[in-house]
């Protein structure tokens, strides 16, 4: 009888441990987005879930002089279907000779949170500053989820 209890406890512990491993789900269908370089963004990160939020972002970032006086309506901006997708951006600022980036998005189901990870591989010991925004489009983030941003130097 004690052996059976021990076996049941072991099975339950293994199930709990294996379930804990699957709290994070890899989000598939992440696409890198390119926005015109003349747009000047100020915040460290951005989330756009609809056309209104995207248009507000673009209006705030638009600089007519930097864009050679080309009207905002004529700038090439990716067409994103916000019924199906969301837009995220995170700024990085690193000192190196060069930097290579990898991206990953996971969903933490228990805490209802998406995590946008940027992995930065710096090459060389230079003082040159590499600052850029990393825009991605991904399948629509559910309304009851939050987003966190992480930058990891590897």
Q: Are the C-beta atoms of residues 87 and 54 closer than 8 Å to each other? A: yes
Give the model's confidence band at 21: pLDDT under 50 very low, under 70 low, under 90 confident, else very high: low
State if pTM tops 0.75. yes
Q: How many CB atoms lie within 10 A of CB 87?
A: 23
Q: Using one digit for the tens of pLDDT, what is the confidence trace for 37-90? A: 888 898 999 999 999 999 899 888 888 788 887 888 877 788 899 999 999 999
Among residues 149, 94, 83, which one has the least CA distance to residue 116? Answer: 149
Tokens standing for 137?
Answer: 């489009």
Sheet containing 45-48: which strands, arranged edge to edge? 31-33, 129-139, 85-95, 45-48
């Amino acid at each position: 009888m004690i052996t059976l209890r021990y076996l049941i406890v072991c099975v339950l512990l293994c199930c709990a441990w294996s379930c804990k491993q699957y709290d994070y789900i890899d989000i598939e269908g992440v696409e890198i987005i390119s926005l015109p370089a003349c747009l000047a963004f100020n915040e460290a990160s951005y989330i756009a879930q609809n056309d209104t939020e995207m248009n507000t972002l673009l209006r705030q970032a638009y600089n007519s002089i930097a864009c050679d006086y080309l009207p905002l309506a004529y700038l090439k901006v990716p067409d994103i279907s916000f019924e199906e997708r969301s837009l995220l951006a995170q700024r990085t600022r690193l000192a190196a000779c060069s930097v290579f980036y990898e991206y990953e998005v996971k969903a933490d189901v228990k805490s209802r949170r998406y995590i946008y990870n940027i992995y930065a591989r710096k090459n060389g010991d230079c003082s040159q500053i590499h600052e850029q925004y990393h825009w991605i489009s991904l399948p629509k983030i559910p309304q009851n989820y939050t987003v966190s941003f992480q930058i990891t130097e590897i």
